[in-house]
Amino acid sequence: MAEAAAIAARPVRAKLSRDDIIMRGAMVVLALFLLVAIVLPLYFMLSKSFETYTYRFESIEFQVNDGDGWGETLNALTLGQALGVVTPERMVTSNGGRFQASEFFPDFSFRSPRLYRIRNAQEDAGGFMVGGGPVFHTEWVEVTSNDFRRVQIRPALSTGVDNYIAYVNTPSLFFSVYNSLFIAVTTTVIVIGLAFFYAYALTRTCMPFKMLFRVIALIPILAPSLLPAISLVYLFGNQGIIRELLMGERIYGPIGIVIGSAFWTFPHALMILVTALSISDARLYEAAVALRTSKLRTFLTITLPGAKYGLISAIFVVFTLVITDFGVPKVIGGQYNVLATDIYKQVIGQQNFQMGAVVSVVLLLPAVVAFIVDRIVQRKQVALLSARAVPLQPKPNRRVDIGMGIYCGVVAVVIVGILGMAFWASLIKFWPYNMSLSLGNYNFDVMDGGGWEAYGNSIRMALYTAVFGTMIIFSGAYLVEKGRGFEFGRGVIQFLVILPLAVPGMVLGLAYIFFFNHPGNPLNFIYGSMAILVLCTITHFYTVSHLTAATALKQMDPEFEAVSASLKAPFYRTFARITVPVCLPAILDVSIYLFVNAMTTVSAVVFLYSTDTTLASVAVLNMDDAGDIAPAAAMAMMIVYTSAGVRLLHALLTRGLQRRTQAWRTR
C-alpha cells in the first residue's frame, strides 16, 4: 500500500527524445528570429517615439571679453528670449539638432578680436560642441571669435509624451489623420461595392467569359501600387489624355489617391468575397423559391447575411491596405498629406526620426484595430460553416447574365485601361510631343534611380525572399502545428507569427532603421545590405504565408508523427519524405506569394535600401520623384512582366510537378 501511494504521488517527468530536443532547439531559434525580425524593432521604434530632444538654454552661460576683462555672466535662455531667437518651437529639435551659439550675439563677427567664454551651468544638460568635440563639464571654455562661430549648443534627451503633444498641436501633421481616414473609408466603400457585385457575378450567375474576367481582375496584384498612380498621371494629369473627364478637378490629391488605391486593392477584396460567396448553401435558396420569396428579399435575407463575415473581412483588409499604402499617395497625392507619406517626409525629408516614430505609432493604431476585429470575425466564421451544405449551382437568367456581363466588362476595361496606359506610356518616345514608339524609356542605365542594376537587385531580393522565406516560414509552421509538448513555446510563436500582419510596411521599415542602425546592435553590419531587405520583406509578408502553410499542415493526418515515432523514424526524415512532398502545392504557393510581393513592395524597403541595393520599385519611386515619369512607368511595367512571367512559370511548374510527384492524389 505504501509503495502504491508512493507511485501515485510521484509526478512523471517525461524524458525528452532526441527529436524533442532538436525541435525545441529549432523553436528557440525561430523565436529568436521573430524577436529580432519584429519584436525588438517595434520596441525600439516605440521607445524612440517617446524620446524628445530639447535645447536646455537655461543651463548655458556666456561671458564676453572686448579686451577690457570678462563681462557679466549671460544666461542663454534670458538672452535668447530677449532677442527673440529662442521661441518654444525652436526649443524642440531632433537628436541631430544644433543651435549656433553666435545667434545669441547679433553683432557677432568672426573677424572681431572679441573673446567668448561658454560653460554648462549643469552637467546633465545637452552640452555644446566646440572644436569638434562635445563638452559636458561645467568649466568655462574660452574661444576666439573665429572659433565661436563654430560653437553649437546640443539638445538634451528626455523621455515623455512631448512628441505626441507636439504632433497633436501641429495642424499640418495632425490633419493627415483626417486625410488618411477619409481616403481609407472612401476607397473601402467604393472597392467593396464594386468587388461585391463583381464577385457575385463570378459566383452566382451564368455570365459569359467568367474565367477571363477573373484573370483580369487579379492583374493588379502583379503591379506595385505606384503603377496605377503613374497611369493616372498620364490619363488625368496636366497633360493627360482624358483630363477633361475630371471637369476641372485636379487628379493630384484625394481623387487620384482614391482611384489609384481602388485599382490595386480591388483584387484583394475580390478574392475574399469570391470565397465568401462560393460557400453558400443551395438548400436555403431552394427553400426561398419554395416559399415564393422575391429576388430582392432573397438577396437581402440570404445572400448578404451569408457573405457577412467575408464582407467584414474584406472591408478591414481594404481599409488597412489603403491607410498603410505609401506608393499611391507619394506619386499622385500632391499637397494632400496622409500618414504614410508623413512618415516618409519626416524621416527622409526632415531627418526627424522621433516624429517619424510618432506618426508610425499613430498609423499602427487603425491597423491594429482592423487586425483585431478581423481575427475575431474569422474565428466566428469557422464555427458557422456547415459540412452538410450543398453547393449552389447558378442557373442561367438572360437579363441578369447580360447585365452582370456588361458590369464586369466595364470594370475589366477600367483595370486593363489603367494597366494599358502605363504600358503604352512606357513605349512613347517623349510624351506628349513625340508620340512615336520606342524602347528608349527602358534604357534605365542612362537615368538616375538605379538603372538595370536596380532591376537585377529586385530579382535577387525576390529570389532570396522566396527561397529563405519559404524555408523559414514552412519549417516554423511545422514546428507550431506538429511539435509535441512545449505548449508555452508554441503559444509564444503562434502569437509572434500573427504580429507582422498588423504592422504596416512603412512602420516596419522605420522600426528596422531604429533597431539595426543602432550603433550598439551587434547585427548593425547587415544595415544597408541585401540581407536587411530580405529579412524585412520576409517579415512583412510572414503572416499570410504562415497561415497558408499552417492550413496545409492542418489538413494532414495528425497521427503521422505518432506513427513515425513508433517506427523509430526521426522527425526530420518524416518531414522530408512525407510532410514536404504532401504539402508541396502549398509550399509553391507561399514561395510565389513571397516572390511577387518582394518584387512589388516599396513601403518597407524605401527606408532600407543603400546605393548598392536599390530596388526596381524604389527606382520607380525615385525616377517619378525626379520627373522621369516615362522611365518610371517602364520600370513599373518591368515589375509587372516579371511577376506575370513568374506566375505563369509557377502555374506550369505546379502542373508538371503534380503530374509527376503527386500521382497518389488521384484514385
Partner 1 sequence: MTTDKQAGEPYLRIAHVIKKFAAFTALNDVSIDIDEGEFVCFLGPSGCGKTTLLRAIAGLDIQTNGRIEQGGQDISALPPSERDFGIVFQSYALFPNLTVIRNIAYGLENRKLPRAEIDKRVRELLELVGLTGQEDKYPAQLSGGQQQRVALARALATSPGLLLLDEPLSALDARVRVHLRHEIKQLQNRLGVTTIMVTHDQEEALTMADRIVVMNQGVIEQVGTPMEIYRHPATAFVADFIGKMNFVDGTVAAAGRVKLGEVELSCDTDGMASGAPVQVAVRPEDIIARGVAADEANAFEATVEDLEFLGSSLRVDLAGENLGGQRLTADLSVNLMRELALEPGHGVTVRIPAERIRLYAAGGT
Compute the least distance from the CB of residue 555 to partner 1, in Å. Answer: 11
Q: Which among 32-40, 381-389, 450-458, 558-566 is the span making contact with partner 1, rule CB under 8 A?
A: 558-566
Contacts of 459 (CB under 8 A, 6+ apart): 599, 642
The distance of closest approach from Cβ of residue 424 to partner 1 in the complex, given in angstroms and rounded to an integer, is 48
Size of the site for partner 1 (CB under 8 A): 39
Judged by beta carbon, residue 4 or residue 383, the one nearer partner 1 is: 4
Inter-residue contact 508 to 597 (CB < 8 Å) = no
Query: Does residue 383 bind partner 1 (CB under 8 A)?
Result: no
CA gap 32, 476 in Å, rounded: 12
Q: Exactly one of 135, 246, 373, 578 binds partner 1 (CB under 8 A); which one?
A: 578
* Binding of partner 1 by 12 (CB under 8 A): yes
Out of 1, 2, 8, 382, which residue is the one contacting partner 1 (CB under 8 A)? 8
Which of 1, 2, 11, 88 forms a contact with partner 1 (CB under 8 A)? 11
Helices 18-34 and 451-482: crossing angle in degrees, nearest 10, is 140
Q: Which is nearer to partner 1, 423 or 571 (CB)?
A: 571
Closest distance to partner 1 from the beta carbon of 657 (Å): 12
CB of 568 to partner 1, least distance (A): 5
Q: Is 654 one of the binding residues for partner 1 (CB under 8 A)?
A: no
Q: Which is nearer to partner 1, 379 or 577 (CB)?
A: 577
Strand pairing partners for 152? 100, 129
> Counting contacts by CB under 8 A, is residue 397 touching partner 1?
no
| Residue 485 φ/ψ region, left for φ over 0, alpha for ψ in the -120 to 50 degree band, beta for the rest | left
Burial class (CB in 10 A: 0-12, 13-18, 19+), 278: middle
**Residues 494-523: x/- map of binding to partner 1 (CB under 8 A)?**
------------------------------
Burial label, 255 (beta-carbon count in 10 A; 0-12, 13-18, 19+) = middle
Encoded one letter per residue, x for contact with partner 1 by CB under 8 A and - for no contact, window 182-221 reads: ----------------------------------------
In sequence order, what DSSP letters do the residues of 204-229 get, joined into one string? HS--TTHHHHHHHHHGGGGS-THHHH
CB 457 within 8 A of CB 613: yes
Alpha helix segments (H runs only) across 339-486: 339-344, 353-384, 398-427, 451-482
Q: Which of 197, 442, 527, 560 binds partner 1 (CB under 8 A)?
A: 560
Give yes or no for residue 172 binding partner 1 (CB under 8 A): no
Residue 247 makes contact with partner 1 by CB under 8 A: no
Backbone Cα Rg of the chain: 30
Considering only 226-234, 363-371, 590-598, 656-664, which stretch makes contact with partner 1 by CB under 8 A?
656-664
| Alpha-carbon span 224 to 454, nearest angstrom | 15
Q: Is residue 573 part of the contact set for partner 1 (CB under 8 A)?
A: yes
Q: What size, in residues, is the chain? A: 667
The residues in 16-35 that bind partner 1, with binding defined as CB under 8 A, are 16-20
CA angle, corner 598, sides to 595 and 599, nearest 5?
90
Question: Binding string, 34-63, against partner 1, x = CB under 8 A?
Answer: ------------------------------
Stretch near partner 1 under the rule CB under 8 A, chosen from 15-23, 195-203, 532-540, 652-660? 15-23
Phi, psi of 504 (to 5 degrees): -60, 150
Q: How far is the CB of 16 from partner 1 (least distance, A)?
A: 7
Among 193, 420, 581, 645, binds partner 1 (CB under 8 A): 581
Contact, 152 vs 98, CB < 8 A? Answer: yes
Cα 643 to the chain's mean position, in Å? 19
Matching residue, cell 503530374: 659
Q: Does 9 bind partner 1 (CB under 8 A)?
A: yes
CA 158 to chain centre: 30
d(CA 528, CA 427): 33
Minimal distance in Å, beta carbon 506 to partner 1? 42
Q: How far apart are CA 219 and CA 346, in angstroms?
A: 33
- Toward partner 1, which CB reaches closer, 20 or 51? 20
Do residues 620 and 602 lie in contact, with contact meaning Cβ atoms separated by under 8 Å?
yes
Query: Residue 14 or 290: which CB sits closer to partner 1?
Result: 14
Residues 87-126 that bind partner 1 (CB under 8 A): none
Q: Judged by CB under 8 A, which stretch of 8-16, 193-201, 369-377, 434-442 contacts partner 1?
A: 8-16
- Cα 347 from Cα 359, distance rounded (Å): 10
Minimum CB distance to partner 1, residue 552 (Å): 13
Q: Which stretch binds partner 1 (CB under 8 A): 285-293, 390-398, 620-628, 655-663?
A: 655-663
Closest CA to 353 of 595, 553, 198, 518: 518
Q: Which stretch binds partner 1 (CB under 8 A): 2-10, 72-80, 228-236, 446-454?
A: 2-10
Contact 41, 515 (CB under 8 A): yes
Q: Is 487 in the site for partner 1 (CB under 8 A)?
A: no
Rounded Cα–Cα distance for residues 317 and 309 (Å) = 12
Nearer to partner 1, 11 or 88 (CB): 11
The distance of closest approach from Cβ of residue 385 to partner 1 in the complex, given in angstroms and rounded to an integer, is 21
Residue 14 or 383 with smaller CB distance to partner 1: 14
Q: Contact region for partner 1 (CB under 8 A) — 10-18, 421-429, 545-553, 648-656? A: 10-18
| Shortest spacing between CB 498 and partner 1, in angstroms | 24
Q: Is 393 in the site for partner 1 (CB under 8 A)?
A: no
Q: Is 567 in the site for partner 1 (CB under 8 A)?
A: yes
| Smaller CB separation from partner 1, 22 or 29 | 22
Q: Residue 14 interacts with partner 1 (CB under 8 A)? A: yes
248 binds partner 1 (CB under 8 A): no
Kindly state the smallest distance separating residue 27's Cβ from partner 1, in Å.
16
Is the separation of the CB atoms in 618 and 454 below 8 Å?
yes
Q: Is 666 in the site for partner 1 (CB under 8 A)?
A: yes
CA distance 469 to 594: 7
Which of these, 312, 223, 311, 214, lies nearest to 260 by C-alpha position?
223
Q: What's the Cα-to-Cα distance from 533 to each of 348, 458, 537, rounded to whole Å?
A: 17, 10, 6
Alpha carbon separation from 654 to 170, 218, 285, 586, 587 (Å, rounded): 54, 19, 37, 10, 10
Q: How far apart are the first and last CA of the chain?
A: 58
Among 3-11, 175-183, 443-451, 502-510, which window interacts with partner 1 (CB under 8 A)? 3-11
73 is a contact residue toward partner 1 (CB under 8 A)? no
Q: Which three cell numbers stand for residue 530?
A: 541585401
Binds partner 1 by CB under 8 A, chosen from 135, 569, 644, 657: 569
User: Residue 582, interface with partner 1 (CB under 8 A)?
Assistant: yes
Question: Crossing angle, helix 584-600 and helix 629-661, to 10 degrees?
Answer: 170
Site residues (vs partner 1, CB under 8 A): 4, 7-20, 557, 559-560, 562-570, 573, 577-578, 581-582, 661-667
